[in-house]
Amino acid sequence: MDSLTQAVLGATIQGALLGRWQGRKALLYGAVLGTLPDLDVAIRYTDAVAAMTYHRGFSHSIFVLSALAALLTLLVRRWRPNPGYSTQRLFLSLWLVLVTHTLLDCFTSYGTQLFWPLMTPPIAWSSIFIIDPLYTLPLLAAVIGGVLFGLRDRTPRLPVAALALSSLYLLSTLGGKFMAEQRVQEALERDGVRPQAMFSTPTPFNTLLWRVIVLDGEDYHEALVSWFDREPPRLEPIPRGTELARCLRDSPQHLRLAWFTHGILRYDQIDQVLVVTDLRLGMTGFHPFRFILAEHRDGRWQPVKEARRWHTERGDLDRLKVLWQRIWHEDQAVPLSTWAGLLQR
């Protein structure tokens, strides 16, 4: 999730558990600690693929964060002891601030290596967009209320209420994901399509309209599904360019990218370079993670030694308006194939 959301989540948790004794400082401490796992972005990696796939690695591991919470508890107890609350309560507070950061990230589409150093595939439940105001606003209101009115009550009610409200909303997003995938699965069975893989994620800034990707051999299909749809979803076939992936069999960058994304990738030849796109993130035709993994030299494709980011177009307000209309109106045309075609240039 975005840094603001992680900060107010950490602040609200620490305010709820330690605000009675720490007062407004609990909000500051929780906000700083809540954004700590994302400081791994400052690490310089060997290339663009490594920078993407090692982010949310060790710094988001529940094992590492649990050890860090224990260490911080010992340090705080030694240098800033407070007889008002127990060591166990302090550890629980710090642990929840850290671990909820990485658990919240698991609900996005990026991929979080929750059990690092175990080489399990990254977790991406992909039920919430990376920025979702409906999740963030209750937490932000609780932080503002704590700053204005303090947190010295025996049980700070506003942070607890905000956490409950945001958590219920987060759980409700799983219902939207199930709805979208179930409707697409029914459409696939009707058409006799047996997909290799399916991936669903909400469209930007909401959980009412869902984007579903279905891998099917040389193509992939995209569909939009709204909570308010009555007709079966329409799946648009789009070329995936998998024949180009043959030249990447010996590319360690491609192997790691395929592992990290669960294979939800697209391949395009643009001029003399092979661009591989992570289809999970962003919106159709506008994906933030695209990489040059091979170059056409001396009559053949040659994998590059260091992957580079490919320039990515950003969606504009007009396209967001189209998606907003599609939430409420099933007959609103959304040119997914046309938008996807922009990836070829």
Total-model pTM: 0.92
DSSP-derived secondary structure letter, 57:
S
Which range is most confident: 43-47, 224-228, 282-286?
Answer: 224-228
| Confidence band for 154, pLDDT divided at 50, 70 and 90 | low
Length of the chain equals 345
pLDDT mean over 32-40: 95
Confidence class for position 228, pLDDT limits 50, 70, 90? very high
Q: What is the pLDDT of residue 314?
A: 78
Residues 261, 268 contacting (CB under 8 angstroms): no
pLDDT at 155 over 70: no
Closest CA to 144 of 27, 46, 13: 27
Residue 274 pairs in a beta bridge with 269, 294
The DSSP secondary-structure symbol of 278 reads: E
pLDDT score recorded for residue 279 = 96
Tell me the per-residue pLDDT of 313-341, one tens digit each, with 9 for 90 and over.
Answer: 777 899 999 999 999 999 999 999 999 99
- Name the phi and psi angles at 333, rounded to 5: -75, 130
pLDDT of 106: 97
pLDDT in tens, 175-213: 999 999 999 999 998 888 888 999 999 999 999 999 999
| Average pLDDT across the chain, whole number | 93
What percent of the chain lies above the pLDDT cut of 90? 85
**pLDDT of res. 302:** 93
Q: Report residue 234's pLDDT band, with 50, 70 and 90 as the boundaries.
A: very high
Token pair of 169 as six digits: 């909303």
pLDDT of residue 263: 94
CA angle 111, 113, 119 (to 5 degrees): 120
| pLDDT tens readout for residues 99-133 | 999 999 999 999 999 999 998 999 999 999 999 99
3-state SS class at 269: strand
Residues 6+ apart with CB under 8 A from 182: none
pLDDT reported for residue 194: 85
pLDDT at residue 37 greater than cutoff 80: yes
What value does the mean pLDDT take over residues 263-278? 95
Contact criterion met (CB below 8 Å) for 179 and 160: no
Question: Residues with Cβ < 8 Å from 98, sequence gap 6 or more?
Answer: 33, 34, 36, 37, 65, 66, 68, 69
| Strands, sheet with 273-278, edge to edge from the N-terminal-most edge strand | 265-270, 273-278, 290-297, 300-309
